[in-house]
Amino acid sequence: MEMQLDRYAYLDKPLHRWEPRCKLAGIMVLIFAFSYVRDLRLLPVILALSGGMYLYSGLPGSFLLSRLRLPALFLVAVALILPFVSGPTVLMHLGPLTLKEEGCLELLRITVKFLAILTMAIMLFGSMPFLTAVKAMRGLGLPVILADMTMFAYRYLFEIGDDLKTMQTAMGLRGFRNNKLGGAGSLAALAGTILVRSFEQSDRVYKAMILRGYGQPASYQEDFHARPVDVAGMLLLILAAAAIVAAELLWR
């Protein structure tokens, strides 16, 4: 399975050239500010800000849409439930269902914040290699053990996906079909085999790492050099985040 998250990290755009620690700090502060928003008047602001920054990043729109496809299932599930169960104000009756104003407004709030935050996160991790992002986290104070866990989780999700795809292909060539009797047992055996193979592989990798000096934080050391423009960009995002939070507090 190809690692798709940082497939456009090679682009030579201003956002890609931004010093990783400043970029990570600025965008994460802005994401937290987006999550704090409750006032509906701020929703167009955060949506325009996230969309404008994504256009500025130079990443293709198809990349964003492909990353949003799976999380959009969450929004679909929320849209099927929330407007009919939240709030006392009835807008209309749809057969046995009652559409409520508070639920619709809450759905709008969740959808806009969800899209804005996810767009910013995709832009952040899509504009630099994932290893560079982990090193930037380490440079901002993330403990070594958490940096290791983050890197290994990202790496071996794809390894497990490759193993699963290979084993499913092998089972299909041997005549396996999901609709056959006993298919559930075969799928359970497949899942168990994947877990056992993953454990055995992790044990081999860990022993190999120990022999190569694992445990030294030097593996995450990198000479990051923040330029004045990098710091200025970070401060600009922090000021934007502070303005959003201040407006939320004032209007609330």
Please, what is the Cα angle at 73 between 60 and 129, to 5 degrees? 40
The residue extents of the domains of the chain are 14-129+224-251, 142-220
- Spell out the per-residue pLDDT of the chain, length 252, in tens: 445 677 888 888 889 999 999 999 999 999 999 999 999 999 999 999 999 999 988 898 888 888 888 888 888 888 888 888 887 888 888 778 888 888 889 999 999 999 999 999 999 998 988 888 888 888 888 887 787 777 777 777 777 777 777 777 777 777 666 555 455 666 677 777 777 777 777 777 777 777 766 665 555 556 678 889 999 999 999 999 999 999 999 987
| Contact indicator for 113, 42 with CB cutoff of 8 Å | no
Write down how long the chain is.
252
pLDDT of residue 121: 93
Residue listed under structure tokens 């120990």: 210
pLDDT of residue 186: 67
- Helix H, strand E, coil C: the string for the chain is CCCCCCCCCCCCCHHHHCCHHHHHHHHHHHHHHHHHCCCHHHHHHHHHHHHHHHHHHCCCHHHHHHHHCCCHHHHHHHHHHHHHHCCCCEEEEECCEEEEHHHHHHHHHHHHHHHHHHHHHHHHHHCCCHHHHHHHHHHCCCCHHHHHHHHHHHHHHHHHHHHHHHHHHHHHHCCCCCCCCCHHHHHHHHHHHHHHHHHHHHHHHHHHHHHCCCCCHHHHCCCCCCCHHHHHHHHHHHHHHHHHHHHHHHHC
**pTM, entire model:** 0.78
